[in-house]
Structure formats: C-alpha cells, structure tokens
Amino acid sequence: MDTLETGVDRRSLLKGAAAAGVVATGTALLDNPAEAQDRGALKDAGITTEMVTFKNGDATINGFLARPKKAGKHGSVIVMPGIFGITDYVKESAAQIAQAGLVGLAVDFYSREGGAPKTDDFAVLRQVVGKMSDAQIVGDLQAGIDYLKKQSYANGKFGVTGFCMGGRYTLLLAASSPDIAAASPYYGPVMAQGPDRRAAINETTKIKAAVQGHYGATDMNPKPEDVRAYFAKLKETNPHAEYHIYEGAGHAFHDYSRPAYNAAASTQAWNRTLELFKKHLA
C-alpha cells in the first residue's frame, strides 16, 4: 500500500505505515499545529558559537561550531550543508542542535575554494562541487569528527545530519565511519548520481547507525519510490532504520530561507531529528 494513499483514515494509515516500517506524515496528520521554524537560536545566550578550523591531511577545513555553555560533555552532531554551503540557515540549524544540549558542527566542504561561491546559480555551484570527490567530502566530515574527539566538551558520541546533497553525504558518512551512532538525512539522493559518485543504495550494508530519513512527497530527487527502495534495502541489515515522507512537502522543505519551506513538515521532522540524537548521543 502507498502510505500516502488518500481515502483512508488517520488510524488506518498510521497502522499500515507502521507495519511497513515507514511513517507517512503531512499537514493533515500532525498532532499539533506547527509554528514557523524558530530563527532565534543564534541569539540564545545559553549557547556559544564560533568559526573553527581543523585539518584533513594538508588541507585546512573551516567549520561553524555551536555548543551549550553549560559545563559538561555533550554528544556531537556533524551538519553537512546543501550546495549553498554554510548559510545562515545552516548556522541556525547548528545552533538549534546546541539548544537541544548537543554540539553542532557544520563543515564547510568549500573550504579549499575559499568558501562557497557568491552565487545562487545552481549550474555554477554544481560545476564547483563536481570537481570534489566523494572521498574528499566524506574525509572532511570525518576530520570534523576527529577534531571534536579532542575537545573537552564532547563526549565521544557522534551523529550526522545534512540537507539536499548533504543528505546524501549523511548516508555516505554513516556507511564510512564507525564513529556515527545516528544519522538523519534530509531529502538527499539515494540512487546513482554519476559514474564517479557512490550510490547510497549500494552502501546500505555498511551502516550500523540508527537512521531516520526525512523526505517530501512531491520531491523528484529523491522520488518517494526511490526512498522506499533505499530503506527497504537498508532494513534488510539494519533494524534501526526508519523514514518519513511528508505529504504536501517538496525538496528543501526544511530550509526556511527558500520558497519550498513547509513549516508543518519542517517542525515535525526537526523535532524527530533532535529526539533521535538526544536518544543515541547522550
């Protein structure tokens, strides 16, 4: 049964989805009305934010770090941006992770280029990203983990989340790094992306972490059927995998700075993500 099928009541839909190992949600299925995503985390006096640098081989990688001011050791979450790099939206997301009592480190995969190109032209951005190998980007994310391992405020437990292309690298990092305990990808492609790119669907047996994916019902990359195929394969070897398809939401529904932003889906998805990390990284 298609979990977004219309003409069924809420209880039947959720019961059928649970039996299939998938939860389908949308505005009509939210338990509580969602407000627009909070954009004030960066101003929270209870957290500290700063730009940091760390090494991946000879390369210096930049990152945006947000962490609680409260003393103690905290679980850490690597944040992989989308193609626009570390925007205010990405910084806000890292700060919200810190508000939840965790450390958020957004990794600038454009570091070798001196930062993200100052353009909104997808063709230009894709050309720049196309020159970066999967090994390089995943290596930069792992370098962020290695940096956090040395910090007194980190407890040595790690998660990863990412958006768009960052959602794809969230899955690739989870497949590559034994350090990852939980991964929460947002609408990242799961099928083959080209001859020089690793297909996430071919990496499922390597993932031991808990995985919670978030996708839009109207997205075309990844399409809902691709998401279902990916998680069906992942669940063959990983009992800690779940995904959510949000009715009425498209690609980039979590990014409040973009026209595709869907407040209801974004709020529901982000609350689930933070709960996942608090559960596995405490």
For 180-209, what is each residue's pLDDT tens digit? 999 999 999 999 988 889 999 999 999 999
Residue 17 pLDDT: 36
Q: Which residue has the higher pLDDT, 141 or 5?
A: 141
Residue 37 pLDDT: 58
The pTM score is: 0.88
Residue 280 pLDDT: 98
* Alpha carbon distance 211, 233 (integer Å): 13
For range 272-277, the mean pLDDT: 98
pLDDT digits over 72-110, tens only? 999 999 999 999 999 999 999 999 999 999 999 999 999
* Alpha carbon distance 59, 143 (integer Å): 10
Residue 195 pLDDT: 85
User: Chain-centre distance of CA 229, in angstroms?
Assistant: 19
* Alpha carbon distance 198, 139 (integer Å): 14
Q: What is residue 226's three-state secondary structure? A: helix
Residue 28 pLDDT: 29
Report the range of poorest mean pLDDT among 38-42, 118-122, 126-130.
38-42
First to last CA, the chain: 36
* Alpha carbon distance 232, 255 (integer Å): 27
pLDDT digits over 17-61, tens only? 333 333 433 332 333 333 445 569 999 999 999 999 999 999 999
Q: Which residue has the higher pLDDT, 23 or 138?
A: 138
Does the CA dihedral 130-233-171-35 come out positive or negative?
positive
Tell me: pLDDT of 178 over 80.
Answer: yes
Tell me: pLDDT of 2 over 60.
Answer: no
Report the range of poorest mean pLDDT among 27-36, 83-92, 116-125, 235-244.
27-36
CA-CA distances (angstroms) from residue 144 to 54, 66, 102, 140? 7, 13, 15, 6
Report the range of poorest mean pLDDT among 15-19, 90-94, 109-113, 135-139.
15-19
Supply φ then ψ for residue 21, to 5 degrees. 80, 25
The residues with which 47 forms a beta bridge, in sequence order, are 68
Q: How many CB atoms lie within 10 A of CB 265?
A: 27
The residues with which 246 forms a beta bridge, in sequence order, are 25, 216
What 3 state SS string does 87-107 have? CHHHHHHHHHHHHCCCEEEEE
Q: How many CB atoms lie within 10 A of CB 71?
A: 8
Residue 173 pLDDT: 98
For range 140-151, the mean pLDDT: 98
* Cβ neighbours of residue 272 closer than 8 Å, sequence gap 6 or more: 184, 212, 214, 244
Backbone conformation region of residue 142, classed left if phi is above 0, alpha if psi is from -120 to 50, else beta: alpha
Average pLDDT of the chain, as a whole number: 89
Neighbour-count burial of 58, counting CB atoms closer than 10 A to its CB (0-12 exposed, 13-18 middle, 19+ buried): exposed
Torsion of the alpha carbons at 120, 126, 110 and 173, rounded to the nearest 10 = 120
Q: Which helix (H) or strand (E) holds 60?
A: strand 59-68
For range 248-267, the mean pLDDT: 97
Location of structure tokens 């905290």: 74
